A and B are shown apart, each in its own frame.
Chain A
């Protein structure tokens, strides 16, 4: 029997092979042909089974246990064995809670999308685009006019002038921008720093990319960046740091001082920054600051955003990544294999949306502030310990006054006995223990719904 695959050899040749999605355009492979072919010749000699084995073997005895990268044995599989990387991927907490909510007729302040709709002028633009026949593939990295609008908005927000052709990539929502940035720019084994609690797709895509995650926890009451921990964690081995500001789930907004400190550490250690800024227009207690606008930072930052939260159209899946050309290249590579192109009519509508006058944003903030007041006052009255939330449409509270053992048990109780949905935050931490006292509520619901939820909690939620 032939020797099993020599992993050391595969690892040695891995970087070149893994980089072959570096094919910029579809048909140019000249620069990598040499290296790939020698890799394949080597691989063939190691792995080839004598043909008679193929003839006599039956299905399941064909393959013996295979040594995998981390040394564990991989048992011969039933027809469909899913990849090892998926061990962490389960149905999301949101879906689970939503199902439970429907079953119990609970008011859903868990899932982060509005129960009201987007503005008419944007919806009409989409309808017009469909009628005008804009229904075929858009240019992979974005409809030109839309890229222009994104650049113009970015200039308005940050003062930075960017090239829409070379520095903007349109994606199916910010979720895909994150996936494309991570898969396009992170190599297996790269160290990436994450702040917990974090939006669940960060950890998932980082493990898809084979990254080594280093997690720093933001702690109540103010969820400040643990600077000393950061300084001891970041090093020349760090490839990237992921920042979400305004922050989901805590509502924290990274301060100028925090961003400056992170920036100088990144410059010192040559670290990339990926920022998720989807809630930037829902900044209430302070101004939103884009990392890319700090000195020396644009050249190493991927700034990501989307239409969904700002325009209450979360189901349209229009997002984007802004980055200097050499980083945009990696993002576009991955994007072209993940979804290839983004919904065309919605891009045309998004172009109109991004040109909305200042009054739209003023009204948006005003409406959300009113909603926030209803929820926050209500939660305080009910007896939660409410942490200050500077931005997003989320607020995080400590549920322990009600005497339940952890966040998941509390949320289940809240649905079944009180009829309100919140999200247990433990799922947003690498170590679930860190989140067991906290749950997240959202106020992206109409005022009536918010008041009803507060009423239910006042009536049925009792401190222990």
Chain B
């Protein structure tokens, strides 16, 4: 039996993240690592789910109303004309929508361009489908897109680009200009875009989320994926979707049916209620998350971080360690757990330097072990408690005393 395992699997060693999770659990640390809320979901949406269960919406179903609502929303938000009967596939979360999208378009050997730092799950999915991930590094400190770097990453094998905006882990919202650069590359090289827009309603200051599909010539080559999870704080309900031109949407739907067959029925019903939420809901969402963002930025500044890039969206702060801190990201996170009882995520896992086109040196990418990600999708009580813990790191003169 052992010989049948892959050679890679046999080299598996325990991950630093798992060890950190165990350490955090043992120390009962405050969790600013996990990217999901610790506050309740909106009551009216929970009521809708309860009602659906009671009304016997519990067998396999496809709730067409979700597609109808999504089409209306996409028209209103992005000016897109979507056919609710043919252009939308409802899936078990954005994760499954993305997986189905990848399986629907990626042949073995196809390349997929991703932007670094990058949410980890995309690559595993691409590779599982036989695709080849190709990373383009965004330039710190503001994670700007270098158009030349992007153009150089295209080859005849490039099938698609994955675009996550608002972005996990940096909180970047790709600007209209950057979207235009990406669009130009796609048109020139005849590539597709798969977007992950799960944080679409969480943008700050004057930032507005623009879907690349709304740019000229892009709707026909874009697969949009998103979900209810982050917008409505119901990450555990697994309701997501893919929106694409009919042929792709149909392929995605057919694949989805083979992977899971249907998204959870009662939550599809509740999705109707969620998608009908008034504009006040979304305004309040932005407002509250913006307050949390500001609080978290201030918090980190107080303990010596120089925040060069304030998140423009999503609910993560991706911060470079203070210059006078000689620890690596993993070491810092460990110390923070032990000394302050707060857990955050070391940034190195989001970087894929070895898969960059231009094979940069280790020194030029040394910043990649110097970032940490803090999630602020937490209740005010949690954030306040974290602030207290961080406060204890300051000595009598107000200087951070985290032992370096």
Residues of A near any B CB (own CB < 8 A): 5, 7, 10, 14-33, 35-37, 40-41, 43-44, 47-49, 51, 54, 57, 59-60, 62-63, 66, 68-69, 76-77, 79-86, 89-92, 111, 113-115, 117-118, 123, 126-127, 130-131, 133-138, 172-173, 175-176, 179, 183, 187-188, 200-201, 204-205, 208, 210, 239, 270, 272, 299-300, 312-317, 326, 329-330, 333-334, 336-346
Interchain Cβ contacts under 8 Å between A and B, 27 examples? A25-B18, A27-B348, A27-B349, A33-B354, A40-B355, A54-B189, A59-B188, A68-B107, A82-B105, A89-B254, A117-B56, A136-B235, A137-B36, A138-B236, A172-B92, A173-B260, A188-B130, A205-B259, A208-B129, A313-B59, A315-B57, A315-B58, A329-B9, A339-B99, A339-B238, A344-B236, A345-B237
A241 to B54 alpha-carbon distance, docked (Å):
40
Among B61, B155, B250, B265, the one with the most A-chain Cβ atoms within 10 Å of its Cβ is B155
Please tell me if the beta carbons of A27 and B17 are within 8 angstroms of each other in the complex.
yes
- Given that A27-B346, A43-B132 are contacting pairs, would A176 and B259 also be in contact in the complex, using a CB cutoff of 8 Å? yes
Q: How far is the CB of B119 from chain A (nearest CB, A)?
A: 9
Residues from chain A with a CB closer than 8 A to the CB of B155 are 44, 47-49
A425 to B58 alpha-carbon distance, docked (Å):
26
Verify if B80 is at the interface (C-beta below 8 Å from A): no
Q: How far is the CB of B105 from chain A (nearest CB, A)?
A: 5
- Given that A25-B17, A336-B124 are contacting pairs, would A130 and B49 also be in contact in the complex, using a CB cutoff of 8 Å? yes
Please tell me if the beta carbons of B261 and A317 are within 8 angstroms of each other in the complex.
yes
Q: How far is the CB of A271 from chain B (nearest CB, A)?
A: 10
Neighbour of A22 across the interface among B9, B17, B250, B262, CB < 8 A: B9
Please tell me if the beta carbons of A338 and B259 are within 8 angstroms of each other in the complex.
yes
A-B CB proximity, top 7 nearest: A315-B265, A27-B349, A344-B236, A28-B15, A25-B15, A31-B11, A204-B258
A33 to B356 alpha-carbon distance, docked (Å):
12
Inter-chain residue pair count (beta carbon < 8 A): 319
Residues from chain B with a CB closer than 8 A to the CB of A114 are 59
Verify if B64 is at the interface (C-beta below 8 Å from A): no
Please tell me if the beta carbons of A47 and B8 are within 8 angstroms of each other in the complex.
no
Please tell me if the beta carbons of A135 and B156 are within 8 angstroms of each other in the complex.
no
Q: How far is the CB of A345 from chain B (nearest CB, A)?
A: 7
Tell me the B19-40 residues at the A interface (CB within 8 Å): 34, 36-38, 40
Please tell me if the beta carbons of B264 and A343 are within 8 angstroms of each other in the complex.
yes
Among B18, B58, B92, the one with the most A-chain Cβ atoms within 10 Å of its Cβ is B58
A14 to B56 alpha-carbon distance, docked (Å):
48
Please tell me if the beta carbons of A336 and B121 are within 8 angstroms of each other in the complex.
yes
Verify if B41 is at the interface (C-beta below 8 Å from A): yes
Tell me the B272-293 residues at the A interface (CB within 8 Å): none
Neighbour of A26 across the interface among B1, B17, B156, B245, CB < 8 A: B17
- Given that A300-B1, A316-B264, A336-B121 are contacting pairs, would A137 and B236 also be in contact in the complex, using a CB cutoff of 8 Å? yes
Verify if B255 is at the interface (C-beta below 8 Å from A): yes
Neighbour of B50 across the interface among A81, A130, A334, CB < 8 A: A130
Residues from chain B with a CB closer than 8 A to the CB of A342 are 238
Neighbour of A63 across the interface among B156, B244, B346, B357, CB < 8 A: B156
Residues from chain B with a CB closer than 8 A to the CB of A25 are 14-15, 17-18
A44 to B111 alpha-carbon distance, docked (Å):
11
A154 to B278 alpha-carbon distance, docked (Å):
47
Q: Convert B232-252 into 0s and 1s, putting 1 for each residue whose CB lies closer than 8 angstroms to a CB of A.
A: 011111100000110110110
Please tell me if the beta carbons of A340 and B50 are within 8 angstroms of each other in the complex.
no
Please tell me if the beta carbons of A315 and B12 are within 8 angstroms of each other in the complex.
no
Verify if B5 is at the interface (C-beta below 8 Å from A): yes
Residues from chain A with a CB closer than 8 A to the CB of B151 are 51, 54
Neighbour of B104 across the interface among A69, A82, A272, A326, CB < 8 A: A82
Known pairs A37-B354, A136-B234; list 8 more (Cβ under 8 Å).
Answer: A5-B156, A19-B7, A27-B16, A44-B155, A137-B235, A138-B236, A188-B130, A343-B236
A21 to B349 alpha-carbon distance, docked (Å):
14
Verify if B106 is at the interface (C-beta below 8 Å from A): yes
Q: How far is the CB of B268 from chain A (nearest CB, A)?
A: 8
Which residue of A has the minimal Cβ distance to B244? A80
Verify if B127 is at the interface (C-beta below 8 Å from A): yes
